[in-house]
Amino acid sequence: MQPDDNTLMELYRKMLLVRTLEKRLEHLVTAARVPCSGHFGLGQEAVGVGVTGPLRTTDYLFGTHRGFAEYIGKGMSPKEILAEYYGKATSGSKGRLGQHLLKVEAGIMPLPSSLGSEFGISVGCALSSVRRRTDAVTLNLFGEGTASQPDCSAALEMASLWKLPLIFACSNNQYVELDRYSNVSPRADVAPRAEAYGVPFEIADGNDITVVWETTARAVQRARDGGGPTFLEFKTYRRSTHYTGDPGGYQAEEEIKAWERKDPVDRCRSLLRQRGILGEKGEQELLAGIEAQVEEAVRFAEESPFPQPDIAEANSYA
């Protein structure tokens, strides 16, 4: 099952939007126009956009701290993302969260600060869909470093026992903060751990958007049909540094170059050319539209008001 022409075009548009928005925000952070840092995902756009492609608005997403691919993929706009980063009252959290993106009406659950704490919450989310007799699927996307948090094992065990409609999607970008994953874990693959809990797994090319989309679409269908959880691992590579304050230098130039040749945006563009869907002129128009959309979002975020102090107490228990 391959994405049809319209789906592929939409996946490509979203990847280009993510790349343009991240690059723009990186400049804004460096210029101190945004009151926080950023963790970007240059080269791994196909994972976030691909895993959210087969999801419905009524499905749930637990996303990552890295980049905007899954957030754009699941239905956030550049305005909503930038308003959050700027800490403005017009954002989803009304200026309370900063980098912690959310859009509950699109099924995007708020990103927690403590990585891995979402494993248990995602189990509860999937369990609530079963209890409410809906066919909603929950997808939790996390990094290979985060997969070492003990809650991942507990979540796999309970999701398997209760046959929950939960997808564990691991974006393996081979780096955990400033270290190679091979320096912190004895195994290169994460997904086979799922077998210990009776959860089927697949390892796939995370830089091919059609593969990511198709692999996830099968897992989503299985979950929706009551077949239980699946663990998916997508192999990719982080060409960004860990975050905007990281000077880098610990990733070999040849390694970065080798992955540049497997760039997911370039590969998708080639496929669109092959299929005769997108030509040179169409590409230029698409990019111009995306750049205008991003600039409009920057203007919106910068002109939006900061929250009033009383927002700190709203929606709190006591």
* Sites of contact with ligand TPP (CB under 6 A): 64-66, 113-116, 143-146, 173, 175-177, 238
Q: How many helices, marked H, and strands, marked E, lie in the chain? A: 10, 7
Q: Are strands 138-143 and 166-172 parallel, antiparallel or unpaired?
A: parallel
Rounded to whole angstroms, the Cα distance separating 8 from 23 reads 23
CB nearer ligand TPP, residue 184 or residue 196 = 184
The amino acid at residue 100 is H
Q: Which residue is nearest to ligand TPP (CB)?
A: 143
Q: Which residues contact 142 (CB under 8 A, 6 or more apart)?
A: 62, 64, 115, 116, 118, 119, 152, 168, 169, 170, 171
- Residue 63 near Mg ion by CB under 5 A: no
Nearest approach, Cβ of residue 172 and Mg ion (Å):
7
Rounded to whole angstroms, the Cα distance separating 85 from 95 reads 9
- Residue 90 near Mg ion by CB under 5 A: no
Rounded to whole angstroms, the Cα distance separating 207 from 219 reads 18
Piece of the chain touching Mg ion by CB under 5 A; list 47-55, 142-150, 266-274, 294-302: 142-150
Nearest approach, Cβ of residue 252 and Mg ion (Å):
16
Nearest approach, Cβ of residue 314 and Mg ion (Å):
35
CB nearer ligand TPP, residue 64 or residue 90 = 64
Which residue carries 């269908």 as its tokens? Answer: 221
Residue 116 touches which member of ligand TPP, Mg ion, none, C-beta under 5-8 Å by kind: ligand TPP
- Kindly identify the residues of this chain, within the stretch 158-187, that bind Mg ion according to CB under 5 A: 173
| Rounded to 5°, angle at Cα 63 from 57 and 69 | 80
Order of strands across the sheet that contains 201-205: 60-62, 138-143, 166-172, 230-235, 201-205
Residue 65 touches which member of ligand TPP, Mg ion, none, C-beta under 5-8 Å by kind: ligand TPP
Q: Which residue is nearest to Mg ion (CB)?
A: 143
- Residue 251 near Mg ion by CB under 5 A: no
Nearest approach, Cβ of residue 268 and Mg ion (Å):
22
Residue 66 touches which member of Mg ion, ligand TPP, none, C-beta under 5-8 Å by kind: ligand TPP
Residue 3 touches which member of Mg ion, ligand TPP, none, C-beta under 5-8 Å by kind: none
Nearest approach, Cβ of residue 126 and Mg ion (Å):
24
Nearest approach, Cβ of residue 85 and ligand TPP (Å):
16
DSSP line for 220-248 = HHHHHTT---EEEEEE----S-SSTT---
Q: Are strands 201-205 and 230-235 parallel, antiparallel or unpaired?
A: parallel
What residues line the site for Mg ion (CB under 5 A)? 143-145, 173
